[in-house]
Structures are given as C-alpha cells and as structure tokens.
Structure 1
Amino acid sequence: MMFSLLRRPTLTWSTLMKDVQQNHRSTIYSKPPKENIGPVQSFFAICVFAVTLLGPAGWILHHIPDYRQRSPPQT
C-alpha cells in the first residue's frame, strides 16, 4: 500500500497524509484483564518506580558538598 502511494508523480505531504488516514485500519485488539490489580499492588509498584528513579538523584544531590571539596583529578 505505502509503495504505491509513494510512486505517484504529484504526491504532496497533504495528499499522502489523506491517503494514509483513509486507508488506515486499526489492528490493535484488547480484552479486559483476566485479573484485576488491587490498590496495594499499584501503590507498591509506584513506590518501587519512584525509588528507582529518585534514589540515585537524591544520592548525588546529598553528596554535592563532598564532591565540591575533593581536589580535581590529576592527569
């Protein structure tokens, strides 16, 4: 489909987008979840995610004064 659209001699961006939108068919199917996730599991997952992201940043920010007192590495 896409190759035939690109071979047109007078193809512009707007006509390409119109053709793609007209020929688009959704291929994503979904079903309801088999098991519902409770609030405890959600809270735990959010906490682990936050600690994973914010832990290293907090460590670095906490130790900035130590980093400033060090002498620069000698090369």
Structure 2
Amino acid sequence: MLLALPDLLAVSICTNLISGGCPGWLHLVAVLFVWNAMKFLIMGPTCLVLLTRAHFLEPAARNRPSGRAHRCTTPMDAPA
C-alpha cells in the first residue's frame, strides 16, 4: 500500500511537467504510473486478507489427516 506513494509522486511530477509545456507522450507515462499505483493499492489489502486467512487456517490443516495411507508397500508385501 505504501509502495503506491512513489508512483503517485511520479504522476504528480509528470502532470506538472505536462502543464508546463513538455511533450504529450508524458501523458502515457502518467497513465502507466497511475495504473501501477492502482495495482499496489488494490493488491495490498487483498494480500493482507489472504495471508491472514491462510494464517488462521494453517493449524487446522496441519492437524487434519492427509488422507494418504501411512503404510509403505513394498514388493514383498504384495499378494502372490
């Protein structure tokens, strides 16, 4: 979430340069910075929720049997 701040600062710099008379291709750069900032702003809280959920579900998954047979079968154990 805090990683979006440098991108937003770059957007501000680009828009100030554009209003000062710099080339129009800086619009594309500003849009890319906005896109990057939006990704960080959206994925930050989403990842926190998913990590918190995994943290609380992990002990239950660790205590649950895996469903696999714990007995090792070898060719000697196979029926004749």
Same fold (TM over 0.5): no
Structure 1 or 2: larger helix share?
2
* Structure number with higher relative contact order (C-alpha < 8 Å, ≥ 6 residues apart): 2
Task: State TM-score, norm by structure 1.
Answer: 0.34
Task: State TM-score, norm by structure 2.
Answer: 0.32
